[in-house]
């Protein structure tokens, strides 16, 4: 089944990324941090927006964010447009982690290209992108 293949691939890639990120000195990095970190915009993102992007509740996002905040990777600040809302931003340490993660992911993708061929990896990414455009055109899953 496609779902199982996607889960196994994601789990394997996330575990390897976590191992390499920790080896670069980000000892507090946890695999579940990736749930949010890739969805936070450079200027910050509201918890509500993150919940929509991740496809979960605001409460679940807040819980994960608290753990990531305790690790010093993100910080919370009031939303200037809505005093009741919270914006999550990367700290300086979080931005360094993000840059390292981009390098690590590029390296892992390069290794995957070596295993299945660069053309096949590019084709896989293209096909998955096309599928996502069809099933999630706004790029943010909605909780129903």
pLDDT in tens, 102-131: 999 999 999 999 999 999 999 999 999 999
What whole-number distance in Å separates Cα of residue 25 and Cα of residue 72? 14
In the three-class reduction of DSSP (H, G, I as helix; E, B as strand; rest coil), residue 77 is classed as strand
What whole-number distance in Å separates Cα of residue 33 and Cα of residue 82? 26
For residues 142 and 66, the model is more confident at 66
Lowest mean pLDDT among 58-67, 84-93, 134-143: 134-143
All structural domains of the chain, each given as residue ranges with its CATH number in brackets, are: 2-135 (1.10.10.10)
pLDDT in tens, 6-60: 999 999 999 999 999 999 999 999 999 998 998 999 899 999 999 988 889 999 9
Strands (E), the chain: 45-46, 74-79, 82-90
- Angle of helix 47-54 relative to helix 58-70, nearest 10 degrees, comes to 110
Question: What's the pLDDT score for residue 140?
Answer: 62
DSSP annotation of 78: E
């Amino acid at each position: 089944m496609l779902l199982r293949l996607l889960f196994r691939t994601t789990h394997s890639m996330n575990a390897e990324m976590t191992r390499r990120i920790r080896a670069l000195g980000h000892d507090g990095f946890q695999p579940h941090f990736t749930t949010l970190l890739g969805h936070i915009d450079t200027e910050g993102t509201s918890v509500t927006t993150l919940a929509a992007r991740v496809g979960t509740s605001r409460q679940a996002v807040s819980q994960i964010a608290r753990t990531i905040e305790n690790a010093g990777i993100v910080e919370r600040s009031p939303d200037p447009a809505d005093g009741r809302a919270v914006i999550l931003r990367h700290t300086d340490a979080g931005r360094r982690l993000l840059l390292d993660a981009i390098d690590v992911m590029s390296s892992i993708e390069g290794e995957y290209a070596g295993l299945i061929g660069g053309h096949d990896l590019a084709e896989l990414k293209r096909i998955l992108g096309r599928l996502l455009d069809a099933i999630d055109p706004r790029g943010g899953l909605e909780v129903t």
